[in-house]
Amino acid sequence: MFLALRELRFARGRFSLFCGVIALMTLMVVLLTGLTAGLGAASVSAVDALPGTALAFSAEPKVSFATSSVSEQDQRALAAKAGVHSATPIGVSTAKLTGAVAVLGGVPGSSPTAGGVLVPPSLGLATGSHVRVNDQDLVVTGSTSEHSLNHLPAVYVSLDTWRRVAHTSGATAILVDAEPGADLSSAGLTTLSRTEAYSAVGSYSSEQGSLNLMTGLLLGISALVVGAFFTVWTMQRGHDLAVVRAIGASRSYLLRDALGQAALVLVIGAGLGTALATGLGLAASTAVPFVLAPSTVLVPMALMVLVGLVGATFAVRRVTTVDPLTALGAAR
Amino acid sequence: MSLHLDEVLLTYPDGDRRVTALDRVSLHVAPGEFVAVTGPSGSGKSSLLAVAGKLIAPEAGSVRVTGTVGFVFQQANLLPALTALDQLLLVGHIGGRQDRARAQRLLAEVGLTEQVNRRPHQLSGGQRQRVGVARALMGEPSVLLVDEPTSALDHERGRAVVELLRRVTDTHQVATLVVTHDLAHLDLVDRTVTMLDGRLSAAGSAALPRR
Ligand SMILES: Nc1ncnc2c1ncn2[C@@H]1O[C@H](COP(=O)(O)OP(=O)(O)OP(=O)(O)O)[C@@H](O)[C@H]1O
Ligand SMILES: [Mg+2]
């Protein structure tokens, strides 16, 4: 990297500008990734917190918590299957408390006595306070961790209470706890693993899909921008490269030097952008759902460097085709 | 014998024909010998250097070089990002060894002790050409190939560069082959050969004995 480092210093204006572009692109990718994870958690963290190994919904073209409805026969059929330890009906619906909430009924471990409700601290309701959920008067009997479903805070009641709140006699889905590999197929039901069940939350798939598409597009654009920059840069110094070849450098020497240069610029740019995004994310995480974790910070940064290197490799590989002959006076 | 060209044939594609740039050229240059190549434009002088420096392989004939080759180019061809010292150190880096002391000694030898940390745009044309000569010597070549070193310089500075080449040819005992249009400096060379349409003739060599 003898030449690479000196060129960086010499053309520092050009490279600073380019580092700035990479930093901004990385900033956007990291922010988007953090936001995607944050919105994902706001959509499905209550599903994630459910016990058991699988969830059974009524079979429909598009399985959804909003439309699923299961019966006691469904529950008994699943409970009778080999390898199934338990099959528990749960209720899931939206209701009005102080604001809109997701009401989960009958979740093992989070099921208070009849007439009671467990609420997250963020709702600001003290234990013992009387609340009205839809048309039911309930008492707060304790608090739960902060979970949410479809961007609504999750509150927990018993299945009977849920039935009164939701005005139904059935249940929404069946929580299954089974041995790995157990056959959970049952007529009229669609059984999904916990992560598959994310898609049963209305907005989750389309939300994550569009955000991931944006991130992917940004990464693609970054590869093109990096490629374009290094194409121009390599062409600009074509004559210099011919001279370096003529004074004895091999093709691989030039390639290593040029790739090292690209990698260094990318790491600096992506590092700056990531630092900036981390700062912004910390500041914004109180206002917007934003997850700061290695997977939402380091992974997009590494991806950025990686796609940048792909773009740079395409651009820089032309250093190997530089003809040292062009360094000589009139010979073309 | 440091540089040995024997019956070298080189053609370039030119549409559906080929142009003959070197037509069975033979040339030998001994260590410490300073040979000038003159000839009209397009006669094959640069091609001769390219073949001698193994930048192109000839179609027929043989090119033998004992040791390595150093190039000095028409416009000095220094790298804009590097200081004078770094131009030389790059050669060392390519060769896998860093010899700062040698680089500094060579720059002093070409009279640029003060300018080691200047970049090309901070040097005059003559100084650039001197850095070019020092850079060519950095790889401890046994053959020095020089393409029109004076064409960008005025008479005085051009002469100073040819004098420098004469001096390093003697002190470093390199075989130097210099392409030049500048007939005024031919009194400094040992031998002049002339290219005409790809053919080499020894015209002038006997007429201009230097020593
Ligand atoms: N890469 C090339 N492709 C095709 N023809 C070439 C190429 N390089 C040189 N030639 C041709 O080969 C012949 C010799 O060219 P060369 O550059 O060696 O001449 P020269 O004596 O150095 O000329 P000048 O004094 O103008 O530098 C010319 O006819 C030139 O047009
Ligand atoms: Mg020429």
Closest CB to B46 among A6, A9, A331: A331
Q: Identify whether B131 is part of a domain.
A: yes
Q: Stretch A186-203: mean pLDDT, rounded?
A: 90
pLDDT tens, position by position, B56-66: 999 999 999 99
Instruction: Compute the distance between CA of residue A104 and CA of residue B195 in angstroms, rounded to an integer.
Output: 95
Q: Which of B123, B139, B155 is the last residue of a domain?
A: B139
Q: Collect all residues with Cβ–Cβ distance below 8 Å to A206 and sequence separation of at least 6.
A: none
A235 close to A326: Cβ distance less than 8 angstroms: no
Closest CB to B147 among A10, A324, A329: A329
* Cα torsion angle, A256, A222, A42, A194, sign: negative
Helices (H), B54-154: 84-94, 100-109, 125-138
Closest residue in A to B70 (Cα) is: A247
Nearest to A296, CA basis, from A308, A284, A287: A284
Q: Identify whether B89 is part of a domain.
A: yes
**Structure token digits, residue A88:** 């528990």
Q: Identify whether B210 is part of a domain.
A: no
Q: Identify whether B211 is part of a domain.
A: no
Percent of residues, chain A, with pLDDT higher than 90: 81
Position B94 scores a pLDDT of 93
Q: Please list every residue in chain B whose beta carbon sits closer than 8 Å to the beta carbon of residue A258.
A: none
Q: Identify whether B73 is part of a domain.
A: no
Average pLDDT, chain A: 92
| Amino acid (1-letter code) at residue B110 | V
- Give the closest residue (by CA) to ligand 1 atom 6: B12
Q: Collect all residues with Cβ–Cβ distance below 8 Å to A69 and sequence separation of at least 6.
A: A58, A168, A170, A171, A172
Whether B2 and B60 map to the same domain: the answer is yes
Whether B159 and B57 map to the same domain: the answer is yes
Nearest chain B CA: its distance from A19 CA (Å): 19
Q: Stretch A264-269: mean pLDDT, rounded?
A: 96
Position A79 scores a pLDDT of 92
Task: Please list the ranges in chain B whose pLDDT falls under 70.
Answer: 1, 203-211
Whether B48 and B105 map to the same domain: the answer is no
Can you give the residue range of the structural domain that contains B29? 1-68+141-205
Domain range list for chain A: 1-43+206-328, 60-187
CATH of the domain at B156: 3.40.50.300
Bridging pattern class, strands A152-157 and A148-149: antiparallel
Please, which contacts does A179-187 make with residues 24 or more away whose CB atoms are closer than 8 Å?
A179/A83, A179/A84, A179/A85, A180/A53, A181/A83, A182/A81, A182/A82, A182/A83, A182/A84, A183/A81, A183/A82, A183/A83, A184/A54, A184/A56, A184/A78, A184/A81, A184/A84, A186/A56, A186/A74, A186/A77, A186/A78, A186/A81, A187/A77
Whether B128 and B88 map to the same domain: the answer is yes
Asked if B135's CB is within 8 angstroms of A328's CB, the reply is no
pLDDT over 90 (residue A332) = no
pLDDT over 90 (residue A286) = no
Residue B152 pairs with which residues in a beta bridge?
none
Report residue A329's pLDDT band, with 50, 70 and 90 as the boundaries.
low
**Structure token digits, residue A33:** 């990734």
Q: Identify whether B4 is part of a domain.
A: yes
Asked if A248's CB is within 8 angstroms of B94's CB, the reply is yes
pLDDT tens, position by position, A134-185: 999 999 999 999 999 999 999 999 999 999 999 999 999 999 999 998 888 8
Closest CB to A10 among B41, B81, B151: B81
Report residue A331's pLDDT band, with 50, 70 and 90 as the boundaries.
very low
**Angle at the Cα of B13 from the Cα atoms of B8 and B17, rounded to 5 degrees:** 105
Q: Please list every residue in chain A whose beta carbon sits closer than 8 Å to the beta carbon of residue B80.
A: 10, 240
pLDDT tens, position by position, A113-136: 889 999 999 999 999 999 999 999
Measured in degrees and rounded to the nearest 5, phi and psi for residue A8 equal -60, -45
* Cβ neighbours around A321 below 10 Å, total: 9
Which residue shows structure tokens 């073209």? A61
Measured in Å, residue B195 CA sits from the centre of ligand 2 at: 11
Q: Which of B139, B173, B188 is the last residue of a domain?
A: B139
A1 close to A260: Cβ distance less than 8 angstroms: yes
**Structure token digits, residue A130:** 């009387």
Position B203 scores a pLDDT of 54
A301 to A37, A89, B47: CA distances (angstroms): 15, 43, 50
Q: Identify whether B150 is part of a domain.
A: yes
* E-only strand ranges, B58-174: 60-65, 69-72, 143-147
pTM over 0.80: yes
Measured in Å, residue A329 CA sits from the centre of ligand 2 at: 5
| Amino acid (1-letter code) at residue B48 | L
- Range name among A29-33, A253-257, A283-287 with the lowest pLDDT average: A283-287
A276 close to A23: Cβ distance less than 8 angstroms: yes
Q: Identify whether B36 is part of a domain.
A: yes
Measured in Å, residue A150 CA sits from the centre of ligand 1 at: 74
Whether B132 and B160 map to the same domain: the answer is no
Q: How many domains does chain B have?
A: 2
Q: Following CA atoms A271, A277, A282, A286 in sequence, which dihedral angle do they give, to the nearest 10 degrees?
A: -160
Which residue shows structure tokens 């020593």? B211
Closest residue in B to A10 (Cα) is: B81
Position B181 scores a pLDDT of 84
Q: Determine which helix (DSSP H) or strand (DSSP E) holds A173, and give its type and residue range.
A: strand A173-178
Instruction: Compute the distance between CA of residue A139 and CA of residue A130 in angstroms, rounded to an integer.
Output: 5
Q: Which of B96, B117, B139 is the last residue of a domain?
A: B139
Task: Using only the alpha carbons of chain B, give its radius of gyration.
Answer: 17
Whether B154 and B64 map to the same domain: the answer is yes
Q: Please list every residue in chain B whose beta carbon sits closer than 8 Å to the beta carbon of residue A327.
A: 71, 73, 77
Position A202 scores a pLDDT of 82
Position B1 scores a pLDDT of 63
Between A and B, how many residue pairs show a Cβ–Cβ distance under 8 A? 76
B68 close to B142: Cβ distance less than 8 angstroms: yes
Q: Please list every residue in chain B whose beta carbon sits closer than 8 Å to the beta carbon of residue A4.
A: none
pLDDT tens, position by position, A207-230: 999 999 999 999 999 999 999 999
**Structure token digits, residue B98:** 């860093």
